[in-house]
Structures are given as structure tokens and as C-alpha cells.
Amino acid sequence: MAAQAAAAAQAAAAQAAQAEAAESWYLALLGFAEHFRTSSPPKIRLCVHCLQAVFPFKPPQRIEARTHLQLGSVLYHHTKNSEQARSHLEKAWLISQQVSFSYVKFEAASLLSELYCQENSVDAAKPLLRKAIQISQQTPYWHCRLLFQLAQLHTLEKDLVSACDLLGVGAEYARVVGSEYTRALFLLSKGMLLLMERKLQEVHPLLTLCGQIVENWQGNPIQKESLRVFFLVLQVTHYLDAGQVKSVKPCLKQLQQCIQTISTLHDDEILPSNPADLFHWLPKEHMCVLVYLVTVMHSMQAGYLEKAQKYTDKALMQLEKLKMLDCSPILSSFQVILLEHIIMCRLVTGHKATALQEISQVCQLCQQSPRLFSNHAAQLHTLLGLYCVSVNCMDNAEAQFTTALRLTNHQELWAFIVTNLASVYIREGNRHQEVFQAQNGPNTSLASLL
């Protein structure tokens, strides 16, 4: 009996020593990998070598899955080797499902779907995200994050109906798990898409509900103010879309006060107690630029051109500083939209050479991002058309406006282009030009605009 107990104790001690040795080599390799990754400059090749050295030790499946995720993440973010990144992420996703390793499983699904989209394999990304959403309902943070991600994917495909449905599902899930903060984020995101769809009758009650949730929620001051900024930006946009320029002023004043408040608050390091609250809409520096942008939009519609130029200059200076440290695509989008507004302002005030220089800047920014070019190609050709009109080059103006018409399905932009194209024909003496036979736009005819 005593001999058996001694043998069992010896075996247990040997296992413990083996486990400790295994943990030691793994932690050593992981430490070296992280050291090389965070070096200045990063030594990515050495980091990858350290992580790859884990596999010959035949580690447990949990360590194997985590290492594949780490390798996939490093290769995806720091190299152009998308094939190897995809291979490691797919292995991480597969193995983590077998051992029920939630963190690795859902992060692998999220990164892998991003990579699929980058490779234009959207059809592979959608079922992956749906499967991850289906199995993540007991993990609130990841369930909400994956819902946001799939909704964004549908938005990029211009399937706004599916995106709104997913955001509605997310809002209800957040309510069930007791996260009014994230519920507000889902509802505000849905409101943004409804504005894009021009469903103004649905936007009003949704914004009313969001306003109540935002005012009643008590939590992290920065999160609360960021929700208020999101809400007020949508409200200002709603009024501007409806042509109610005078109604914007109180909201715009509140928005500017919110930004001032946020700039005085310090980031709170205390994590929320509810994991579903672990989201943040935008960094406060980005929010500041966004407030400048909506102020410019209001100033343009109200005819305050000097004010529009003043705020555009401030916003562009802020953007240049941010882009030195931050390569977020949203900053380029903000920059293009600001330039589009100021170019129209320059043309109205007769600063044609400056307008042409800024059109060139928009071209350069769009060349850096195929998605940005796709979203702004029609606006770019419209601006070129307006410039051509200002310098009396009517043939070129006609060519630019005609190209712009082919590139847009946006009703208001289509009507604006057609109106300007009609003015070109009138100035050329071609009052009866039959442009609308081949260029019928959404729900509008040229005849109704002439």
C-alpha cells in the first residue's frame, strides 16, 4: 500500500515537473516572439521563427490553436503573406472548435473573415461569421462584435436591409444581457444606415428612443459623451437631409459642447463589469474631426462660406497630424468629404486654381484606396464637371457629368448632376438635347427638372 502510494506520488511529481518544463519552454518562446514583435523596428521574421518553434514540441491542442492564431495575426498585420496567414487562421479556427477555446475561436473567425474580404472572398466570410455568431451567444462581447462585423460586411456590399436586420438583432441581444450602452450603439448604427437608405420616417422614432437611452444610461463618462456625439451627429445629418437648416443650430451647439467636454475627460482604465460594454464608437480625436465635418456641411447649406472654409482648414490640419500616427481608413474618408465640400466653396467664391489643386488631392487619396475611389468616383467627376463649367469648357463639362451619371445610384446626387448637365446644354444652345433617354436616374426624369 505504502509502495503504491509512493509510486503514485513519484508519477505525480514527474508529471508536474514535465508540465512545468513544458510551460517553461512555451513561455520562453512566447516571450522571445513578443520581444521581437515589439522591437523598434519590429523583427517580424524572428518573431515568426519563435512561434513556429512551438510546433515541434507537439504541444497540447489549446497551445497549438493559440499559436496558429498568433502566427496568423502577425502574418496578416505585418506581412503580405496572406496565404500563410490564412492557413494558420483556418487551423486556429478548426482546432479551437474541437477544444472549445472561446477566445481563440472567435478571434480566429473575426480575423479570417477580414482576410477573406481583403481577398474579395466575401462568400467565404459570410458563412464563417454566421457560424461564429451562432455559437457565440454565451460570450456577450464576441457575439456583439461579430454581429457588428457581419453588419459592416453587408453595408460594404450595399445590402443595407440585411445590415439593419443584424443591428436590430444585436440591439435586442444587448438588451437581454443588460447592456444599454451597447444597445444604444446598435440602434444608432441602425439609424445611420436608415439615413443612408433615406428612410426618414423610420429614423425619427429610432432617434427618439436612442435619445432616451443615452440620457438615462449611467456609466463611463467618456462612453456616455461618445454616445451623445453619435446621437447628435445623426440628428444634425437628419435635419440637413430634410433641408431644415435652421433646426440644426441647437443640435450643433450641443455637439460642440460635447466635444469640449470629452477633451477634458481622462480615459478611464477601469474595465466595464459587463463584457458586452467593451466597445467604443470612435477615438475622441476622430470625433473632433467629425464635428468639424458636420459643421462644414451645415455652413455650406446655410451659405456661410467663410465659416465653412475656416472649419475645413482646422479639420484638415487636425487630420494631417492624426495621419502621421494613425492609418485608419476613416481618416481618409473624412479628408475626401471635407475636400469635396471646400472645392464647391472655392468654385462658388471664384478660387478656381485652388479648387483644381484640391481636386488633384482627392484624386491622389482615392488612388490609394479602391474602396474610397468606388464610393467617391461620381462625386469626383461631378466636381471636375463643375470646374469645367467655371472655366467655360462645356464639352469637357458634359463628358464629366455624363461619366458621373453612369457611376451613381444616389438620387440627390443624380438630380444635382442632371440639373448641371441641363444647364450646360442650355448654355450651348442645345435646349432639346435628349440626354434622359440613356440616363434615366432613380425616381427622377430630366424633364421634371427642366
326 three-class SS? coil
pLDDT band with cut points at 50, 70 and 90 for residue 430: low
Angle between helices 221-241 and 200-216 (to 10 degrees): 160
Residues 223-232: tens digit of each pLDDT: 999 999 999 9
Which of 198 and 347 is assigned the larger pLDDT?
347
Q: What is the pLDDT of residue 325?
A: 84
SS3 content of the chain, % helix, strand, coil (to 5): 80, 0, 20
Mean pLDDT for 46-50 is 94
| Cis peptide bond prior to 221, omega within 30° of 0 | no
Q: Model's pTM, two decimal places?
A: 0.85
Residue 198 has pLDDT above 90, yes or no: no
Mean pLDDT for 187-207 is 91
Which of 148 and 274 is assigned the larger pLDDT?
148
Q: What is the pLDDT of residue 450?
A: 43
b/e for 296-319, b at 16 or more Cβ within 10 A? bbbbbbeebbeebbebbeebbebb
Residues 119-178: tens digit of each pLDDT: 888 899 999 999 999 999 999 999 999 999 999 999 988 899 999 999 999 999 999 999
Q: What is the pLDDT of residue 273?
A: 82
Mean pLDDT for 230-245 is 89
Mean pLDDT for 203-225 is 91
Residues 57-112: tens digit of each pLDDT: 888 899 999 999 999 999 999 999 999 999 999 999 999 988 877 889 999 999 99
Q: What is the pLDDT of residue 173?
A: 97
Report the alpha-carbon angle 186-190-193, nearest 5.
145
Angle between helices 284-302 and 305-325 (to 10 degrees): 160
Rounded to the nearest 10 degrees, how much is the dihedral formed by the CA atoms of 22, 25, 29, 31? Answer: 100
Residue 169 C-alpha cell reads as: 438583432
Mean pLDDT for 425-437 is 64
Mean pLDDT for 350-365 is 94
Mean pLDDT for 437-450 is 47
CA 394 vs. chain centroid, Å, equals 38
Q: What is the pLDDT of residue 268?
A: 61
Residues 349 and 358: their CA atoms lie apart, in Å, by: 14
Residue 402 C-alpha cell reads as: 455624363
Residue 239 C-alpha cell reads as: 435635419
Q: What is the pLDDT of residue 86?
A: 95
| 110 Cβ contact partners less than 8 Å away, ≥ 6 residues apart | 129, 132, 142, 145, 146, 149
Mean pLDDT for 408-416 is 88
Per the prediction, the chain carries an average pLDDT of: 87
408, 364, 403: which is closest to 384 by C-alpha?
403
CB 381 within 8 A of CB 406: no
CB 338 within 8 A of CB 312: yes
